[in-house]
Amino acid sequence: MNRAVVPGTFDPVTSGHLDIIERAAALFDEVVVGVALSDKKNGGPLFTPEERVALLEGATQHLGNVTVRPFDTLLVDFAEEVGASVAVKGLRAVTDFEREFQMAALNWRLDAKIETMFIMAVPEYMYLSSSAVKEIARHGGSVRGLVPDEVCDALEQKLL
């Protein structure tokens, strides 16, 4: 059984994340989406861990081999815990590279049994991020198509 984790903060899940999850689900027998709880970026996440997990579960319900789990440990420990040997990351513009390169190297140093694998973002989502989505939504812009429909509604509710 080939199992992979797709980790992230997912605050909230975007169409770009979903594309990476779908492509990982086509490559592996099972995919566990790991929702990191402890992110303190930009004053902390907009959505609670429970909300982020629920939005991801909604967005991935068409994928029979995908489950969603929160985690608050090192990624390599989470991967070991769920029995995954690969961590799949999406790679967008070159700006992602430095940070992802560092994380891949450190994760390799922490546990070389966990392989990091990158899937290139499709051009349509190359510049899409959760932060940009929140900024557009905060200023009243439309994010339809950039996030799953359920996330659009959740953003409207949250930012009313």
> Which parts of this chain interact with ligand PNS (CB under 6 A)?
7-9, 36, 39, 74-75, 103, 106-107
Q: How many other C-beta atoms can be found within 10 angstroms of the C-beta atom of residue 78?
A: 21
Distance (Å, whole) CA 150 – CA 56: 10
Give min distance, CB of 28 to ligand PNS, in A: 17
Structure tokens at 140: 């009243």
Q: Which is nearer to ligand PNS, 45 or 64 (CB)?
A: 45
Distance (Å, whole) CA 149 – CA 85: 32
Q: Which is nearer to ligand PNS, 60 or 107 (CB)?
A: 107
Structure tokens at 10: 């997912």
Give min distance, CB of 53 to ligand PNS, in A: 14
Give min distance, CB of 156 to ligand PNS, in A: 22
